[in-house]
Amino acid sequence: MANTPRVEQDEEHPLRAALITSRFLFVDVAAQRAKQLRRGALPRLERTGSPHKLERVAMEEVRTGLVEYSLPPGLESAAARAEYQDRTHT
């Protein structure tokens, strides 16, 4: 999709990504990361205890800033992001 955030594939993350405050952007980024995990990408969190669903792993990775993402061109500003969210999630 042209308006979907792109999740970076890089496995080394010395810096944490900025925390996502928009629930819609959070869901989009976590869904893209879950897709990567289903296709064989290695989790960026150490697993403790019982195995978790890949969607939960992806959400925790996004929540803790382990997933870097980039917005489509033109959506870098806060106003453009808000417009994107209103247009795609209403």
Instruction: Give the pLDDT of residue 77.
Output: 65
Domain count across the chain: 1
pLDDT digits (tens, 9 = 90+) for 10-68: 555 545 677 787 888 899 999 999 999 999 999 998 877 766 799 999 999 999 989 98
Query: Is residue 33 in a domain?
Result: yes
The Cα–Cα gap between 87 and 90 comes to 6
Query: Is residue 1 in a domain?
Result: no
Query: Is residue 35 in a domain?
Result: yes
Q: Where in the sequence is the domain holding 16, given as residue range(s)?
A: 6-88
- CA-CA distances (angstroms) from residue 26 to 18, 32, 89? 11, 10, 12
The Cα–Cα gap between 49 and 84 comes to 38
What SS3 string covers 8-33?
CCCCCCCCCCCCCCCHHHHHHHHHHH
